[in-house]
Structure 1
Amino acid sequence: MKILQVNKMYSPDIGGVETVCQQYSELYAKNHDVTVLCVHKNFKLFGTSTVINNVKVIRCSSLGTFFSMPVSITFLFSFIYQFLKCDIVFIHLPFPLADLSFFLTRFFKRKVYLVWHSDIVKQGFLKKILSPILNHSVRNADRILVTSPKMLEFSESLKNVFHKCVVIPLSINALSIRNTVKDDKGLFDCYDWFDEPKPIDGLFFGRLCYYKGVNVLLDMLLAAKLKGLNPRVVIAGRGEFSDLVQNFIKKNNLTNVHFINRFLTEKEKYCLINKSKCFLFPSVEVSEAFGITQLEAMCLGVPVINTNLASGVPWVSLNNLTGLTVTPNDSVQLLEAFIELLKDEQKLNSFSLNAIERVNAEFDDSVIFKKLNLLIKE
């Protein structure tokens, strides 16, 4: 069977959606012929074709990225050509260029699955302009894969197509992650406290962008200092808020806040989680549709403090079961939850066990991949 995966970008370009697209592609490539169609991240006059882990990856030429969407003329033609060659196509959304391409192939019948990562949130005006094309995708898809029940509950775009939707959460390889943290020698030797069992009170990492709530986290840390508290917190990542984080820490002399101004390797990420008492996930916008990093923390028994967004975020880590959930954009509540967890060792231990159990039962690759394999047999 020939399967086409369509997304904005693909590995080694980093992102949550790119990770999911790679998971799906490599899973199906074990038994099927899989091609990924995507676009170069930056301006590129010519497209390229490579093979990554038995997956053929076609990156189309690019005029650059505007309003978070890559623009490519050749993508339209490549999509039509690849669409006609395949048996099944997975389109990872939001990606308006893919919606337009799908519209252009409306006279040809193929089995089409939309992988609905999020509604278009930030570019509301673009959504209005493109609504006929976006609605075509929803109406004509055979199935729509959503990552959580919360997405179905709150998505404006999916409210009339519930009958097509199936919940298939994001997943992680729990065994692989747990094996990774068995050896952390040589990592973060610059910190003399790294050899302690759980030296990090709170950990935050990811893309430092508008919806991650890192500004709320910084306000919380300043409030903690004014209360005479000095928790050890590690913040890691890069993005539009990198300078804000660095300057804020320096200006307010937050000596126990350690900023790693880059993206972490997988091993670094998991080893830092394993050294943490809790994982801080203060996202403020529904652009944060799921939060797979919550799973990575839960997998290692680290409770999560997340926010009550109208998305899958509070469904992944459940309030008072695997962590605590607070109101978005509320640094006071965030601090209260942080203090509550750090002071209550019994609650920390209970949440830790529950988190491991929830990942094993609901979010491990072994569970989700069975669902994905059954899906294409329908």
Structure 2
Amino acid sequence: MRVLHFFKTYLPDTTGGIEQVIFQLSEGGRNLGIESQVLTLSPDAQPACVQVENHHVRRAHQDLFIASTGFSREAFGLFREMAGEADVVHFHFPWPVMDLVHFLSRHGKPCIVSYHSDIVRQRALLSLYRPLMLRFLASVNRILVASPNYQHSSDVLVRFADKTEIIPYGLDQAAYPQPSHERLARWRQRFNAPFFLFVGVLRYYKGLSFLLDSLAATQWPVVIAGSGPEEANLKNQAERLGLTNVTFLGRIDDMDKACLLQLCHAFVFPSHLRSEAFGISLLEAAMYGKPMISCEIGTGTTFVNLDGITGLAIPPADPAALRQAMSRLWNDPLLTAELGANAARRFETHFTAQRMCEETARVYAELVAQKS
């Protein structure tokens, strides 16, 4: 079976939660007889064709990028060509240009949408886009969402309950690097005490300004790994607050991320807006058996992290609640160990890449059978 994934950004240009999901589906599907290709945009689409691990990626040149939306004239023709060779088209939402490509190409192939997030920030543009969006979602055969929390709390998804299916995101632990003793020793020496860890792109909805506010008059070491548009603002805020217990590492490679996840005391993930629909970084923390702190925002973050079972869930944008949760984990090692062990067990039960790929492959097969 041949599957075409279509999204506005992808590896190797960008890394993020949606890219990780596409990657896991493309690689994990190989063992299930699925050949995946990815069509994406790139501001520098040279070379136009790249190989990412074992799957093929075609990059259309990005002509414009406005309001978090990339546009490419070339993508229309490439999509029509690649969809013609595919058995199933797998769209990744949201991206308004994708809707136009879908309708104008008239590809006629079974298609599904992974509904990664509501449109949260571009509210004014949403009012213009909404009719096209609803028509697009009505036209596809199946909609996949990663958690019941998001399905029940999305004003959009409740309209399409009859075609929506819950398939949680998953990761393949075997695909993560095994750090050498030397690499672990270097990080252990650099942070010679327990520390809280955040890993992710530093975006507006990650709630990191509230994390910094929560650290006033505390000495808990906090490591922030990642770069992004909010990096300069966060560093300025830490300086204004006089925080000496926060380390900004910038973007790190997978080996160093594995080291930090192994060594950290707990994982803190203070995303406070619905733009954070799931939290792949939370899955990584659970995979490494770490207790988590996250916010209750009605999305998949508290499907991954169950309050009092795998970690602590707190109100969003609340530095005092965040400080209290961190204090609780810092001062109660038995609770920390128990929550971490529960997180690892829940990961194995619900969030493996194999489970995600098998469930998605089942949907592909159903759609192809219906088309026959």
Give the TM-score, by structure 2 length. Answer: 0.92
Percent identity among equivalent residues? 30
CA displacement, residues 52-88 of structure 1 (integer Å, 9 cap, x when unaligned)? 3332211111113211111111112222232233210
Q: Which amino acid in structure 2 is aligned with residue 150 of structure 1?
A: N
Name the structure 2 match of 1:277.
265
Distance in 2, Cα, partners of 1:126 & 1:189: 48
**SS of alignment partner, residue 238 of structure 1:** coil
Name the structure 1 match of 2:20.
19
CA displacement, residues 240-299 of structure 1 (integer Å, 9 cap, x when unaligned)? 221122223333332222221x21111111211211111010001100000011111111
Q: Which amino acid in structure 2 is aligned with residue 39 of structure 1?
A: L
Q: How does 1:308-327 map to 2 (within 5 A)?
A: 308-327=296-315
**SS of alignment partner, residue 192 of structure 1:** helix
Return the structure number with greater helix share.
Answer: 2
Name the structure 1 match of 2:246.
257
CA displacement, residues 75-132 of structure 1 (integer Å, 9 cap, x when unaligned)? 12222232233210000110111111112244x5211010110111111222221222
Any conservation in 2 of the 1:151–1:312 contact (CA below 8 Å)?
yes
Any conservation in 2 of the 1:43–1:63 contact (CA below 8 Å)?
no
Name the structure 2 match of 1:203.
197
**SS of alignment partner, residue 160 of structure 1:** helix
Name the structure 2 match of 1:72.
72
Distance in 2, Cα, partners of 1:352 & 1:142: 39
Q: Which amino acid in structure 2 is aligned with residue 74 of structure 1?
A: E
Q: Classify 1:142/1:25 alpha carbon distance in 2 versus 1 (closer, same or farther; 3 Å).
A: same
Q: Classify 1:34/1:220 alpha carbon distance in 2 versus 1 (closer, same or farther; 3 Å).
A: same
Any conservation in 1 of the 2:118–2:156 contact (CA below 8 Å)?
yes
1:189 is aligned to 2:186 = yes
Q: 1:28, CA displacement in angstroms?
A: 2.9
Name the structure 1 match of 2:154.
155
**SS of alignment partner, residue 5 of structure 2:** strand
Q: Which amino acid in structure 2 is aligned with residue 35 of structure 1?
A: Q
Give the TM-score, by structure 1 length. Answer: 0.91
**SS of alignment partner, residue 333 of structure 1:** helix
Distance in 2, Cα, partners of 1:171 & 1:332: 32
Gaps of 5+ in 1: none
Any conservation in 2 of the 1:208–1:240 contact (CA below 8 Å)?
yes
Higher relative contact order (CA 8 A, sep 6+): 2
CA displacement, residues 36-56 of structure 1 (integer Å, 9 cap, x when unaligned)? 11110x266x77123333322
Name the structure 1 match of 2:86.
86
Name the structure 1 match of 2:38.
36
CA RMSD in angstroms, aligned pairs only: 2.0
Name the structure 1 match of 2:282.
294
Q: Which amino acid in structure 1 is aligned with residue 108 of structure 2?
A: K
Q: Classify 1:184/1:268 alpha carbon distance in 2 versus 1 (closer, same or farther; 3 Å).
A: farther
